Structure 1
Amino acid sequence: MNLKTILFFILFILFNSTNIFALNVFHSITKNQIVTHGLLHTQTSLVTDIGWLDINILAVDLSNFNIKLAPIDAGVFDTKQTISQMAKNNGAVAAVNADFFSLTSTVPSFGICIEDENIKQIYTTDLANVGPQMDMASILIDRDLNIIMEYIDTNVLIKSESGQQVTANAYNKIGTYFHFPVVLDNQYTQTTDEIINKFPRASTILIKENRVISHMYSGSAQIPNNGYAIVMDNSLSEKMFSQFPIGSNIKIDISIHLHSNNQPNLISNHLPNINQVKFGIGGGGLILKDGLEYLGSSNIVDKNNRHPRTLIATTDKFGELLLITIDGRIYSAGATHREVIDILKNLGAKNAMYLDGGGSTTMVVRNQGDFFNTVQNVPSDGIERKVMNGIGIFSTNKPDKLADIHLELDRTVSVVGEPIKYKITGIDRSFNPIKLDDANIEIVGIQAEIQENMIIPKTTGNAFFVVEKDGISTETKINIIPKLIQSKLDPTTLNLISRETNILEHFEAANYHSLDPLYIDNLTYPPQTGEYYVNIIGPTKINKFIPAGDIKDTLNFNLNQYDAKVILASKNNIALDIHNLFELQSNFSAQDYKDVTLIYLNSDQAGLINTDVHNWKKLKDTINFSSKRHIIILTSHNPLTGFENKREGEALHNYLASIPKNIFVVTTNLEQNSVQIIDNVRYINTTGLNTDHIFDLTKSSFLQFKIEGSKINYTFRNISYT
């Protein structure tokens, strides 16, 4: 079973459950893409009882020869950079932020950093008081793809051939305070200039090919190739110079060992020799050990409150690693430590630990077919935070021949003369991108002008957009309808909106009723056998105006006529004598009326999550269990234009668009009557009494539906005097 199949099975169980990780899930949206062979990206948005939750997962198959995992950083001593920039500079196809660091200074990250058996940066944990001393763990991956997450002590020793040895504070790391020796090679800096400028009291020992070549009481120096510079406070220089005289042989001995404390449920692991570590990075506290909650001391940031989180985990599958981001603080709710545990368990995690979270939480991925990375989550600072390092995933396979073509259109329904933008990308057998500048493009079924990255339809009809290169082809169906012009209907404005790949394209309003076959300018009176009406009116109470008795009588007559079902769509109403009323109760109410399900959905706080997130479940349960052909939803905010969380509005619209029924979403305000048709969902606004003509009810209107079994029509009917 391959990586995609395994993870899809896990995600199917996770995100199709109505009660996962101790949260109730009312709605989910999941997208999967193979970034490169051996790397699967899953992006999931959940509507839960704690609100909106965005989770991104990278499933990495380390056993795949195409995949390489490596730390990434700015490549410059003590320099922060965004994950996007690090990934771009290092050539990673995906990356997440990694180790913790100081926000107030440019000192290095707190933990180890190892790539391909090469030590990039490391502290002596006892001297620097980092790592296990702060209950912060590390992850190591050896040559045999054994993945170890533990509290690991590290030690940097300077040894001479005469038996002298001194413990160095770090290798390629200098903290806020400088005293004990630090060993530097030239991976991050060619000279000691920056260190001397920052710490003028520093003295230096230069080593080349394991032999001391110079003692310097002060001043900067070039770091030798195949060598080191040992810098220390000059109070230590005399002793260090005597222990390691010029001409003596020096060895830098770096070792790792398990920390003995705070591991009550530790199953002993044998650590590899540090020279056999293919990948190593520091992080935060342990979360899971062998599938169980880790019960020892663990560095967890604000464990009882919800925050953005970055996680790294193993599963029972050999060589599989999960990199996970959970967004928070903006639209997404974030997660507590308890919720993190439950998320990881439901993903099948075996061992897991924290990486830096909060504003640092970032995931970038090269979307399939692209040549560049895109930020996949929403960093809580509003922009990417500059961090000290990250974890990069690389594709090692060389570019291959074309294996598949991807065609993306900004919409598949358009009108004559309106451009359709397109994007064509190719991928090879490793799912890596291939440029397709010279692909053959053909529009079959209509006449169209093909320009760079767009086509302009010249005739109407159904057609196919066909792309071919080297015997590989793909096609997408498009529908071109006549050019639409301004409607003469009054007071209604009809808009047809086609929405593809989350892009809204507004067409002009139509000049004929057949644009929406359900709209009829004048519904017939009285209803024929089997026909009945549902009347919906907007606000009838305007400021402090109290209508005279004859106006109330006129409203009562118009709304009650022919025993219509009446809905006062606004809560701002005068007292009316309505015989057959659907009342807007509490946050949610629903009623089956003959062939229609009527739903009141409170979105007063510019969204369901903001108002009452449980309305998601109530709405879906009502619609999913309804046997009625027609659904009329009354709500105060249009999901696509009035929700504070735009993604929640999109999610609600997409759900409604997926229902094979006539769906009407009715809102009310005092501006104008209007209709928009988006993906077969009709968004209708009805105004109620007209404030400019309060004493002339013929200038006001209500929304009227005429229903007979599976047939439904609607119109805006002006109020007439009795």
Structure 2
Amino acid sequence: MTARHARFRTVLGLLVAWGVLATTGLVAAAPAAAGERAWTRLAPGVRYRQFDIAASKGPARAHLLSVDLHDPRVSVGLLYPGAVGARATLSTLAGGRGAVGGVNGDFFNITETQHPGVEATGASVGPAIADGRELKAAVPDGQRFGPVLPPGTSTREVIGVDGEHRARLGRLALDGSLRTPGGQLALGGLNQYALPVGSVGAFTSDWGSVSRVRATCGTDTDRAAPCSTVTHEVTVRGGRVVSAAATPGGGPIAADAEVLVGREAGAVELRKLHVGDAVTIRHRLVEARSGQPYRFAVGGYPVLRGGAPLPGLDADTAAVRSAAGIADDGRTLLLLALDGAPEFRTGLTIAELAAVMRRAGSVDAFSLDGGGSSTLVTRDPGAGSVTVRNHPSGGAERPVPNGIGVFSRA
């Protein structure tokens, strides 16, 4: 081979390699450019890197965690502040649990400007499971906060890890009932900031101490609709009614008690109960597709399934976003948050987010809360605290109701 031919083959090889990288969308300049970094090992099976994206609305920077669930020393779980109706920064949640990394979780009841005098609960939209404990069910679709859901999806969508240590997408529906002296009633909610119209919802000690009034505001199709004027609340302890009130209350709920909140027809049914009446409350979250239980689950919505983007993803509205992806038949979990620094704040559209997660290796991917909530943290080997890797778009961390934490026993 002549020197000229060798030089030609070298240049051609470089061009081909660069073309492959460029088509992935994971780089916007040469590999040595600012923003393009190699993987950093945080713990066995846990790695972190950042990369830049040439997006349609402007440059974006992504922060990515790769979690190897093959490794028995690695686990993933829900980060939350000990109550459904509470919030804390992701660094506080992750640092308090000793996580080596994490990303923010579900969309949540962030404000109540439509209902003056009603307290925003801070509770998340979708279902939540922590260490096999079912914390809450999903609010009606019309009561959610966040962008419009892709066609065919709902607030019941989750990403989580099952008992076989595999990450997977699913849909968790509430299966619950009340047995009273007058008969049996279906349960419409569990620790939710919004109950279906005409239903009864159960609140446990997992809810926390925030007011339960918000659960009776809005309708199944209109989050801003007025609060119901027909409400009732009953407290059950030891299987018996111990108190009742015409309006929902607040404050801590005892570990051996549950509070039932009814609106419209549900309130009418609860008014039939009297102190001393026997009431049996049953509730569980059921995986609508496989029926297999989760050890951990958090809400959001899917954007990629089986390697293909969901139909109807928004390709126009760009924003700072967070996401989780699944690869290797559920044995690899990818956690991503975009940077909110001014030069990257235009972010990605949902369609672009799906494409980026696929090019990062995901077969399935799930959109988490974005905007000022988007946060990714890591803890360097030997460090005593976590570091916020991205720049939250609000200039500081926003308190959030939950997140996905990565843990290592190494």
Superposed pair shares fold, TM > 0.5: yes
Identify the structure with the greater strand proportion.
Answer: 1
Q: Once the 2 structures are TM-superposed, how far is the Cα of residue 53 of structure 1 from its aligned partner? A: 3.3
**Corresponding residue number in structure 1 for 2:191:** 172
For residue 212 of structure 2, give the secondary structure of its aligned residue in structure 1. helix
Alignment of 1:254-653 (within 5 A): 254-258=284-288, 269-272=289-292, 276-284=293-301, 286-295=302-311, 297=312, 300=314, 303-328=315-340, 330-332=342-344, 334-395=347-408, 397=409, 430=410
**Corresponding residue number in structure 2 for 1:703:** none
User: Which AA in structure 2 matches 1:280?
Assistant: A
Give me the whole-angstrom Cα distance separating, in 2, the residues matched to 1:14 and 1:318: 29
1:459-496 Cα deviation digits (max 9, x unpaired): xxxxxxxxxxxxxxxxxxxxxxxxxxxxxxxxxxxxxx
**Residues 378 and 213 of structure 1, relative CA distance in 2, 3 Å threshold:** same
**Residues 115 and 47 of structure 1, relative CA distance in 2, 3 Å threshold:** same
1:186 maps onto 2:198 in alignment: no
The answer as to whether partners of 2:304 and 2:354 remain within 8 angstroms in 1 is yes
1:225 maps onto 2:255 in alignment: yes
Q: Once the 2 structures are TM-superposed, how far is the Cα of residue 196 of structure 1 from its aligned partner? A: 6.7
Matched-pair identity in %: 21
Q: Once the 2 structures are TM-superposed, how far is the Cα of residue 94 of structure 1 from its aligned partner? A: 1.4
**Which deviates further from its counterpart, 157-166 or 363-372?**
157-166
The answer as to whether partners of 2:191 and 2:204 remain within 8 angstroms in 1 is yes
**Corresponding residue number in structure 1 for 2:235:** 206
The answer as to whether partners of 1:156 and 1:170 remain within 8 angstroms in 2 is no
**Corresponding residue number in structure 1 for 2:85:** 78
**Corresponding residue number in structure 2 for 1:60:** 67
The answer as to whether partners of 2:81 and 2:87 remain within 8 angstroms in 1 is yes
TM-score normalized with structure 2 length: 0.75
**Residues 197 and 22 of structure 1, relative CA distance in 2, 3 Å threshold:** closer
RMSD of aligned alpha carbons: 3.7
Q: Pick the aligned partner of 1:25 from 24, 28, 49.
A: 28
For residue 137 of structure 2, give the secondary structure of its aligned residue in structure 1. strand
Higher relative contact order (CA 8 A, sep 6+): 2
1:600-651 Cα deviation digits (max 9, x unpaired): xxxxxxxxxxxxxxxxxxxxxxxxxxxxxxxxxxxxxxxxxxxxxxxxxxxx
**Residues 358 and 238 of structure 1, relative CA distance in 2, 3 Å threshold:** closer
For residue 334 of structure 1, give the secondary structure of its aligned residue in structure 2. coil
Larger Rg: 1
Q: Once the 2 structures are TM-superposed, how far is the Cα of residue 60 of structure 1 from its aligned partner? A: 1.3
Counting matched residue pairs gives 363
1:97-147 Cα deviation digits (max 9, x unpaired): 111124423232210110122111213647967988864532132212343
1:139 maps onto 2:133 in alignment: no
**Residues 368 and 232 of structure 1, relative CA distance in 2, 3 Å threshold:** same
TM-score normalized with structure 1 length: 0.45
User: Which AA in structure 2 matches 1:319?
Assistant: R
**Residues 308 and 112 of structure 1, relative CA distance in 2, 3 Å threshold:** same
The answer as to whether partners of 1:32 and 1:42 remain within 8 angstroms in 2 is yes
Runs of 5+ unmatched residues, structure 2? 1-15, 113-119, 217-228
1:50-83 Cα deviation digits (max 9, x unpaired): 7643211111122333223222223345333221
Give me the whole-angstrom Cα distance separating, in 1, the residues matched to 2:22 and 2:338: 18
**Residues 157 and 241 of structure 1, relative CA distance in 2, 3 Å threshold:** farther
Give me the whole-angstrom Cα distance separating, in 2, the residues matched to 1:40 and 1:257: 30
Give me the whole-angstrom Cα distance separating, in 2, the residues matched to 1:336 and 1:205: 45
**Corresponding residue number in structure 1 for 2:282:** 252
1:239 maps onto 2:284 in alignment: no
**Residues 93 and 205 of structure 1, relative CA distance in 2, 3 Å threshold:** same
1:698-718 Cα deviation digits (max 9, x unpaired): xxxxxxxxxxxxxxxxxxxxx
Q: Once the 2 structures are TM-superposed, how far is the Cα of residue 250 of structure 1 from its aligned partner? A: 0.6
The answer as to whether partners of 2:160 and 2:168 remain within 8 angstroms in 1 is yes
1:122 maps onto 2:131 in alignment: no
User: Which AA in structure 1 matches 2:24?
Assistant: F
Give me the whole-angstrom Cα distance separating, in 2, the residues matched to 1:70 and 1:23: 28
For residue 187 of structure 1, give the secondary structure of its aligned residue in structure 2. helix
The answer as to whether partners of 1:30 and 1:44 remain within 8 angstroms in 2 is yes
User: Which AA in structure 2 matches 1:60?
Assistant: V
**Residues 102 and 242 of structure 1, relative CA distance in 2, 3 Å threshold:** closer
